[in-house]
């Protein structure tokens, strides 16, 4: 069964303290892995798509990387406005356009 | 474009009542997804449409749930009869790409449903 797990469940960082979020997945052939950001009371907002192992994508203080079994979202020198829940999602080669979301990591950046 | 529009934003109802959630996708998007989000189960896909046709409804929890997409600019998710365990935030999302590109979905603000 296709599955996505994320760790840690919650993370508290001081402003400027870099860290990484982990997304581990088990799918029957990866078509794509996606990162989303969700602010309280809002819908998820798309950040990145990664297609193959070794690929990296960057956006401001965020960098997403992909291996054959997991993805990392690296946050460099975070600011309070980076506080949000970060969701990882995968699409399997056999599941057409269906996307499976992980449980998310709640990030708090303290000034 | 105004983005994905959902209504109502909040719905409080009593057990046994019918609930209808509405969604207007972004113009030009071929795919429409309905999700449910709870603390316990996270974000779950209920059903999705491509060109107004339901493709996969395996996530619909029971026969009490039904979804329609009568045209490219409107979809409904209906719960009849509603139960307290249906309380959740329901999101509608749309996308214009297929395959892995379909993972880039645009979400609406959600409808917070409370069933008493």
Q: What is the pLDDT of residues B3-50, one digit of tens each?
A: 999 999 999 999 999 999 999 999 999 999 999 999 999 999 999 999
Query: Residues 6 or more apart from B63 whose CB is under 8 A from it?
Result: none
Long-range CB contacts for residues A53-58, cutoff 8 Å, separation at least 24: none
Task: Give which of B114, B110, B116 is closest to B22, Cα–Cα.
Answer: B110
Residues in chain B with CB shorter than 8 Å from the CB of A100 are 45
**pLDDT tens, residue by residue, B43-63:** 999 999 999 999 999 999 889
Most B CBs within 10 Å: which of A25, A43, A93, as the mutation test of the B interface? A43
Nearest to B87 by CA among B55, B41, B53: B41
Mean pLDDT of A1-15: 95
Q: Please give the DSSP secondary-structure letter assigned to residue B25.
A: P
CA distance B110 to chain A (A): 6
| A1 vs B20: which has the higher pLDDT | B20
Decide if A45 and B4 are in contact by the 8 Å CB cutoff.
Answer: no
What pLDDT digit, counting tens, does each position of A46-105 carry?
999 999 999 999 999 999 999 999 999 999 999 999 999 999 999 988 777 788 999 999
CA distance A19 to B53: 43
Tell whether the model's pLDDT for residue B69 goes beyond 80. Answer: yes
pLDDT at A1: 82
pLDDT at B101 over 90: no
Cβ-based contacts of B105 with chain A (< 8 Å)? 44, 46, 99
């Amino acid at each position: 069964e296709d599955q996505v797990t994320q760790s840690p469940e919650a993370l508290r960082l001081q402003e400027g303290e870099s860290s990484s979020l982990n997304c581990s997945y088990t799918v029957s052939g990866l078509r794509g892995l996606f990162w989303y950001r969700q602010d309280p009371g809002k819908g998820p907002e798309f950040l990145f798509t990664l297609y193959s192992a070794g690929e990296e994508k960057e956006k401001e203080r965020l960098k997403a990387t992909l291996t054959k079994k997991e993805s990392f979202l690296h946050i460099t020198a975070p600011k309070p406005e980076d506080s949000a829940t970060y969701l990882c999602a995968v699409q399997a080669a056999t599941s057409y356009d269906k996307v499976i979301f992980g449980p998310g990591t709640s990030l708090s950046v303290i000034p | 474009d105004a983005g994905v529009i959902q209504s109502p934003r909040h719905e409080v109802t009593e057990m046994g009542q019918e609930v209808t959630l509405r969604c207007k996708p972004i113009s030009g998007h071929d795919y429409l997804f309905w999700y449910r989000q709870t603390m316990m189960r996270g974000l779950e896909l209920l059903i999705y449409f491509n060109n107004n046709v339901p493709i996969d409804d395996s996530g619909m929890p029971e026969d009490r749930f039904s979804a329609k997409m009568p045209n490219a600019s409107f979809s409904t998710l209906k719960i009849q009869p509603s139960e307290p365990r249906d309380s959740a935030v329901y999101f509608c999302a749309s996308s214009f790409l297929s395959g892995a590109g379909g993972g880039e979905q645009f979400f609406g603000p959600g409808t917070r449903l409370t069933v008493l």
